[in-house]
Every structure is written in structure tokens, then in C-alpha cells.
Amino acid sequence: MDPERATLEQLADEYTAAMRESEKLAFFVRDAELQTQQIDGLIALKRRIQGFKYGARKAGDERAANMLFHLQCGLNAMISFLTMWIELKKGDHHSAWNCVVDAEEYVSIALRAADAGEGLEDFLQHVKLAEQVIFPGYPVYNSMGAVIRGGKCTVCELPFNRCEHIEGRVYWGRLCVRIHPEIVDMDHVAMVDEPRDRRCVITEITTNDGYYHDYMTLKKTRRAEDKEEGTAGRLTGVIFHNQLLEID
């Protein structure tokens, strides 16, 4: 197929075939080299679809741009999910956790970009089942309280308080979010069960043996400080994650 010529239907067919092939590799026991090769192919297809999306935007076709962004996000979800398995094999469990959260969020964005699910609901169930089986359930997450102001809209690049776009919606194949805000004050960190960012997790906990233990592996990491009277123990965790998903 000529890389400069393709209909939306043809690109959707390419996407569907790539996702189905990827599903065969979305298991822990699959060879990491094969998973890496599949990721490379998905990245190449994603970039190709992005190119057509930019073309649709220039042509003034918002529906096509949003549909192509839907495909782009679906591919990013699968890339994140396959990367999760590779990270697990490397022993980097916290990176793997971030990947599974990325996959779920990419599916969420994809479904906001276009009505057609393209099988993503079933894929999301696969991801969620894997999360439940592989990772320990987090009873609470960390949530940082901060006062921010300013920032720009990713769609129109105007100051956020002057644009007409709604944060979290997709316009012209791009997700609207606020970027580059000024943090005026950081006043607290709370522990919540429904956080804004599920990457802000507990990483270590203390136990009665006087050591910190990795929350996922339970491996001893370091000796704990003396327990203060009236406290159950200590923990460490992530309170802020600044890596953005691909939103354009």
C-alpha cells in the first residue's frame, strides 16, 4: 500500500490486524524479543496513522482526525501493555505498574476520541484482569494538594482561562489538557482511594522486623528509623508523576 495514500477504512483494517497479532503476544510467557519486535511494528504504524491525522486536520476533517487519534491511542495502549510484560521480566515492577495504568488511560482517551470501540472494551478487560492478577491491590494512593494558576490549552495554545475548550475532551485529534501551569502553593499530601493519578502509589512500607519492604515484592530494602510512639509505622511513595501521555 502506498504510504501516502490510504482510506480511513484501510487504516482501520491495518490497525485491527496489528492489534489482533499483538494480543497473541500479550502474556508473560511470550518471548521478550518477539514482544519488542511487535512494539517496534506498532510504533511504526502509529506514526503512519499520526501522519494521516495531521493531514485530516489540515483538510478540515475533524471527524477523521478524531477517528485516527482513536486508532493512535489504541496502539499506544497495546504498546504500553506489551511493555508492561517486558518490564516485569526485567524485574522493574514499578515501571510495569506505570505501563498498565498508561494502557488503561490510553483506552479511556481512545473511547473519548471516537464512538467506535474497535474492540477496545474487550482489550481493556484483558488489561484489568492482568492488573488484578499480577499486582497487589493498593488500599490507598497518594494525592498532592496544590494551588495552580495559568497554563496553556493544548488545543488552541491560548491561556487556559481564555480558551473555550473543555479539559479532557478531544478536539481535532488532540486531547485538551492544561500544560505549563504555575504552582503557587503545595499545601498537603493526602492518602485517598480514588486518586487523580494512579501512578502515585506506596513504594515501601515498614513492618515489625524494623525494615522497609518494597510494597510489591515485599523484599527488604533498608533498615527503618525507630518507630515513633503512637504510630503504626512508616511508608514511602510517589506523590507526583510528571510524564504526560501522548496527547497529539
CB atoms inside a 10 Å sphere around CB 218 = 11
Domain-wise residue ranges, the chain: 8-134, 145-189
Residues 171, 62 contacting (CB under 8 angstroms): yes
- The full DSSP string for 82-116 is HHHHHHHHHT-HHHHHHHHHHHHHHHHHHHHH-S-
Could you give the percent of the chain with pLDDT greater than 70?
97
Closest CA to 197 of 131, 103, 98, 72: 98
* pLDDT score, position 58: 96
**List of residues 6+ apart from 108 with CB closer than 8 A:** none
Residue 117 scores a pLDDT above 70: no
Residue 115 scores a pLDDT above 80: no
pTM to 2 decimal places: 0.93
Residue 116 scores a pLDDT above 70: no
* pLDDT score, position 232: 77
